[in-house]
């Protein structure tokens, strides 16, 4: 079983790093519509050949899954195109309410509190966070017709990816008197 310190020091920073990698890969893919060859070298030896999508697509997809997992950790979900609060947890889930201060367990983040952190319009913030759920669920976790509550843009992705670390800082780390650490080079057990 993971300790709270392992979650705070390794797993959450690891997931945040996946979101940063998503942003990098998204920008890389969108630099041009040209197909660009790729060769990955390890210690000077070619290990992988393909095009930019060979590495960018998995980075993007994993980033969406980690982003969704962090929002769910905070207690957020999307229902019918709107940001909502999770009604019940699945047995074995580790969530924000498993962490405590001297005042008691930390609460799930209410959607209004999540949206209040964004300096722009609340509708734009909500759409950005909902986009993470819909893209992760309808494009990656299931094979669907990809019908969304609205069209998603690069701006939605950018707002959500920049906002998730802020939400974790405001609702978890700062309440515990900590800063978000940098991601470890490797997770415990070499993962």
Q: CA–CA distance from 126 to each of 81, 152, 156 (Å)?
A: 9, 12, 9
pLDDT tens for 84-135 read 999 999 998 999 999 999 999 999 999 999 999 999 999 999 999 999 999 9
Tell me which of 188 and 170 has the higher pLDDT: 170
Tell me which of 185 and 46 has the higher pLDDT: 46
Tell me which of 15 and 138 has the higher pLDDT: 15
Locate the domains of the chain by residue range: 4-86+102-181
Given a cut of 80, whether residue 59 has pLDDT beyond it is yes
d(CA 82, CA 70): 17
d(CA 190, CA 167): 28
pLDDT tens for 2-20 read 899 999 999 999 999 999 9
Arithmetic mean of pLDDT over the chain: 91
d(CA 80, CA 36): 38
Q: Report the candidate in 67, 80, 32 with the shortest Cα–Cα distance to residue 156.
A: 67
Do residues 109 and 167 lie in contact, with contact meaning Cβ atoms separated by under 8 Å?
yes
Whole-prediction pTM: 0.90
């Amino acid at each position: 079983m993971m300790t709270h310190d392992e979650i705070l020091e390794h797993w959450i920073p690891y997931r945040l790093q996946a979101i940063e990698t998503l942003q990098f890969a998204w920008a890389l893919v969108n630099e041009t519509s040209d197909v660009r060859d790729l060769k990955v070298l390890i210690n000077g030896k070619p290990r992988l050949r393909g095009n930019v999508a060979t590495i960018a697509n998995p980075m993007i997809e994993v980033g969406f899954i980690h982003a969704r997992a962090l929002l769910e950790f905070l207690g957020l979900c999307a229902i019918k195109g709107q940001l909502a609060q999770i009604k019940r947890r699945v047995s074995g889930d580790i969530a924000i309410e498993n962490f405590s201060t001297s005042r008691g367990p930390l609460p799930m983040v209410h959607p209004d509190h999540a949206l209040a952190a964004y300096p722009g319009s609340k509708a734009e913030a909500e759409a950005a966070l909902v986009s993470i759920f819909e893209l992760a669920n309808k494009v990656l976790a299931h094979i669907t017709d990809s019908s969304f509550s609205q069209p998603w843009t690069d701006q939605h992705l950018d707002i959500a990816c920049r906002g998730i670390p802020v939400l974790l800082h405001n609702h978890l780390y700062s309440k515990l008197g900590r800063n978000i650490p940098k991601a470890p080079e490797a997770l415990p057990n070499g993962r």
